[in-house]
Amino acid sequence: MAKKLYVGNLSYNTSEDGLRTLFSGFGNVASVKVIFDRETGNSKGFGFVEMSTDEEASAAIVGTNGREFDGRQLRVNEAMDKPRTDRRSGGGYGNNW
């Protein structure tokens, strides 16, 4: 079963292809997503990498956590499975028409 990893402290120049290349040294990379700010289009400095197996994910954590990549020391750990919430509900002006 695939396991999702949180990758923090990314350089703002880090690309998804760069992360895929780095993590592919530890196994099959199922997906990569760098998170960008919607308004500015700039990286938020973190992302997610999904490895195909638990063993590959564990090897990737050991091999990349604390490692320097694109001039920054990465923080890598297992991503928490929290359901995404809708941030648009409630508050604001004019929602009571």
Note the pLDDT tens digit of each residue in 19-69.
999 999 999 999 999 999 999 999 999 999 999 999 999 999 999 999 999
pTM of the model: 0.81
66 lies in some domain: yes
- 22: part of which helix (H) or strand (E)? helix 16-24
The kind and range of the H/E element at 35 are: strand 29-36
Q: Hey, what are 62's tokens? A: 């050991």
Domain of residue 42, CATH code: 3.30.70.330
Residue 89, in any domain of the structure: no
Structural domain contains residue 88: no
Question: Per the domain annotation, does 19 fall within a domain?
Answer: yes
Residue ranges making up the domain that contains 43: 3-78
Q: What is the three-class DSSP state of 13?
A: coil
Classify residue 84: in a domain, yes or no: no
